[in-house]
Structure 1
C-alpha cells in the first residue's frame, strides 16, 4: 500500500536553501513530507533528476480583464499554468466594471471560478465618489487587498484617488489587516510633462519616459509611505522602475513602516535604449521602462534584499492596441505570465546570485504580503502542494508557438530563455506537463487571505 498520493523528486529550491536529490511527498493535495535520498512509496512518482523544484509562483499583479472580450481568466490562467504560476492576484480595473463593492467582487469571483485553470485572488478598490464606504464589506467578501492609484488613467476604469481620500482609504484598510497597494505616479507631474512632450510634436519612443520621469514616480512613493506611517496601514508599491524607489522603501522600513515594494519582471529584463527603442508600443508600460543603468540598480537592490516581490503586471492587449508608431498612443502593459519564473531564474544565473531569491520573490514573500502563508508560498509541511519544475532547456522564445496565450506577441519574443518549465502541479495534480496545459477551466479556486476582517490576523 502506498504511503502517499504523489512523490516529486528533484533539486528542491526553497527560500532557506537548496536540497539536491530531494523529494516532496503529497497527500490529499498538501505537502505531507519532505526529505533527501530514498523517497517513500506513492501511487504516482515524478522523478525530474537534477531539475529545479520550486514552490509554484504567485503572480501578485495580473490584469485578466483590461480589454473587453479579449483575454479573461480562461486565457490568463492557461498562460500561468504553462509558466509555472499556480496563483494569480488579479487587479480590480476591469473593462466595464470597477471592482469597488462586495457584490462586484463576489460576482467577479464567481465568474472567474468558472474559467480559472489555476488559483486566483482578487484586489478590490474604491470609487472616488463613494470613498472607503465599501472597504470593510469587500474584505469580508474575500478581497486579497486594496489597489489605489495616485494617477488617473481613466476616471471610471482606473481613477485617481486624491491625497485626502487616500488617507481615509488607508485608515479603513488598516482596520482589515490587509495591504493597500498603490500605482505610484504623481498625477499633476505626469499631466504637465505629458502636455509638454506632446507640444513638441515628437512621437518617438523616448517621449513616454520623458512624459513620466523618475521624479513623478518617487514623489508618489514618498506620499504613499508617509500616509502609511500616519495611518498604520501596510503600504505596497505595486511597481517601481527606478533604484531610488527601493531606497525610499528601505528607509521607511528602517523607521518601522510596513513599506513593501514590487519589481515587475520587465524592469529587470528590458531597458529603454536596448528594447523600447525597437519594440516601441509593445514595450510601453506605466511607469516606463528605464535605462539599463536603472535596471542594474534594481538588480543590486534585489541582491541586497530590498525588493519584496517580483511580478508581471500582465495584460494581453491585442496587437492593434500596441502598434501605433506614435509612442504615446499605445495602450500600457504587456503579457508575461508564461515566462515570469524562467526570466527571473535566468537573471539570477547570469549574475551569479543565489537561486533561493526566486522562491522568496515569486512565492514566499508574495504569500506573506497577501496573508496566505498558512496556505501557499513555500515547500513546507501542510501547505498546498503547488509546485513548479524548471530545467535548463535554452530556446528562442516564440510566444505564438506554445498555444497557451491569447496574443501571439511578447516583448520577450526572440530572446534566448535558458530555464523552461517542465511541469506545474496544483495541490499535487499535474496541470502542465512541459508541453500541454492539462487543467480545465474551473479547476482553479478563489483564494481568500487568512485574516479576519476588522480583526487582524486570524
Structure 2
C-alpha cells in the first residue's frame, strides 16, 4: 500500500529559495513530506520535470460582485483556478449591498460557498449609520479583515469614512486582532483635482492620472498609518501606485507600527505612457496607473522587500462600462485573476530577481496578513496542499481563448506572457489541468482567520 495519496515532482519554489528535483508528498489533503531525489511511494505520481511548483496563490483583493448579474463567485473563482490562485479574499462592496453586519457576512459566505470553485475569505466593512457597532460581531462571524475608504466612490455602496469615524473604526478593529485595510485616496484632493481637469477640458487618457495625482495617495496613506500608530492597529494600504507610499510604510514600520502595503499587478506591469494611452478606459483604476518611472520604482521596492503582498484588485466590468470616450466616464478596475501569477513570474525572471519573491508576495505574506498561515500559504508539511505548477510556455494572451473569464477583454490582451499555469491543486486535488477548470461550484470553502476576536470583556 502506498504511503501517500499523491506525489508531485518539480522545481519547488518556497520563500527560502528554489529546490530542484524536489517532491511533495500529500495525504488526506495535506502536505506530509517534502524532499529531493528519490521519493516515497504514492497512489498517484505527477512528475512535472523542471516546471515551477509554488504554493497556491492567495489574491488579497477581489471584487466578485461589483456589477450585478455579471461575474459573481461562479466566474471569479473559475478564473482564479485557471491562474494558479487557490484562495481569493473578496471585498465588501457588492452591488446593492454593503457587507456591514454579521448577518450579511454570513449570508454572503453561504451564497458564495455555493458558487466558489476555490477557497475564499471575506472582508467586512461598516455602514456609517451603524458606526462601529458591528465590527466585533463580523469578526466573530468569520471576517478575515476590514475595509474602509478615505474616498467616496459611491455614498451607499462604497462610502467615504470620515477621519473621526475612521479613527474609531480602526481602534475597534485593533481589538479583533485583524487588519484594517484602507482605500487610500484623499477625498478633498481628488474632488478638487477632478474639477480642475474638467474645467481644462481634458477628456483623454491623461484625465484620470491628473485627477488623482500622487499627493492624493500619500496624504491618505499617512493618515491611515498615523491612526494605526495611535490605536495599535494593523494598518494595511490595499493598493499603492507610487514609490513614496512604500517609503512611508517602511518609515512607520521602523517606528514600530504594524504597517503593511499592497501592490496591484497592473502597477508592476503597465504604465501610463505605453498602456493607458492606448487602452483608455480599459486601464482605468483607482489609484491610477502611473508612468514608467513609478513602475520601475515599485520593482525596486519589491526587490528590497518593501512590498507586503501583490494582488489583482480584480473586477470584471462589462466592456460597455469600460468603453466610454471620456476617460473619467469609465468604471474603475480590471480583470486579472487568470494572469496575475504568470505576470509576476515573468517580471521576476526578466529582472533576474529570485522567484522566492513570488512565494512570499502571493502566498506566504497574504496568509499571514489574513491570519490563516497555520493552514495555507506555503509548501510545508502540515499545511493544506494548495499548489500551483507553472511552465515556460510563451503565448500572446487572449482572454477569450480559455473560456475561463466572464468577460473577453483584458488590459493584457495581446501581451506576450511566458509563464503559464499547467496545474492547480486544492488540498491535493487537481482543480485545473492546464486547459480545463475541473473544480465545480461549491468545491471552495469559506476560510476564517485563526486569530479570534477579543471582546471587551476579554480585553478588560
Whether these two folds match at TM > 0.5 is yes
Quote the Cα distance in structure 2 between the aligned partners of 1:318 and 1:452: 38
Query: Which position in structure 2 is the counterpart of 1:318?
Result: 318
Matched, 1:337 2:337: yes
Quote the Cα distance in structure 2 between the aligned partners of 1:70 and 1:271: 28
- CA shift for structure 1 position 196: 1.1
- CA shift for structure 1 position 200: 1.6
Secondary structure at 1:215 match in 2: helix
Query: Which position in structure 2 is the counterpart of 1:352?
Result: 352
- CA shift for structure 1 position 377: 0.3
Matched, 1:165 2:165: yes
Alignment of 1:398-417 (within 5 A): 398-417=398-417
Query: Which position in structure 2 is the counterpart of 1:378?
Result: 378
Secondary structure at 2:132 match in 1: helix
Query: Which position in structure 1 is the counterpart of 2:82?
Result: 82
Query: Which position in structure 2 is the counterpart of 1:219?
Result: 219
Q: Structure 1 stretches (4+) deviating beyond 2 angstroms? A: none
Query: Which position in structure 1 is the counterpart of 2:448?
Result: 448
Aligned residues: 457
Query: Which position in structure 1 is the counterpart of 2:178?
Result: 178
Q: Deviations over 1:264-290 (max 9, x none)?
A: 000000000000000000000000000
Query: Which position in structure 1 is the counterpart of 2:192?
Result: 192
- CA shift for structure 1 position 87: 0.1
Quote the Cα distance in structure 1 between the aligned partners of 2:62 and 2:274: 25
Quote the Cα distance in structure 1 between the aligned partners of 2:253 and 2:277: 36
- CA shift for structure 1 position 314: 0.1
- CA shift for structure 1 position 45: 1.1
| CA RMSD in angstroms, aligned pairs only | 0.9
Quote the Cα distance in structure 2 between the aligned partners of 1:188 and 1:38: 62
Query: Which position in structure 2 is the counterpart of 1:291?
Result: 291
Query: Which position in structure 2 is the counterpart of 1:387?
Result: 387
Quote the Cα distance in structure 2 between the aligned partners of 1:453 and 1:286: 31
Query: Which position in structure 1 is the counterpart of 2:145?
Result: 145
Alignment of 1:99-110 (within 5 A): 99-110=99-110
Q: TM-score, normalised by structure 1?
A: 0.99
Quote the Cα distance in structure 2 between the aligned partners of 1:370 and 1:54: 19
Quote the Cα distance in structure 1 between the aligned partners of 2:221 and 2:146: 16
Quote the Cα distance in structure 1 between the aligned partners of 2:181 and 2:280: 28
Secondary structure at 1:146 match in 2: strand
- CA shift for structure 1 position 44: 1.0
- CA shift for structure 1 position 128: 1.0
Query: Which position in structure 2 is the counterpart of 1:119?
Result: 119
Q: Deviations over 1:379-406 (max 9, x none)?
A: 0111000000000000000001000000
Matched, 1:136 2:129: no
Secondary structure at 2:448 match in 1: coil
Quote the Cα distance in structure 1 between the aligned partners of 2:98 and 2:16: 39
Quote the Cα distance in structure 2 between the aligned partners of 1:394 and 1:65: 32
Where does the alignment leave 5 or more consecutive residues of structure 2 unmatched? none
Query: Which position in structure 2 is the counterpart of 1:246?
Result: 246
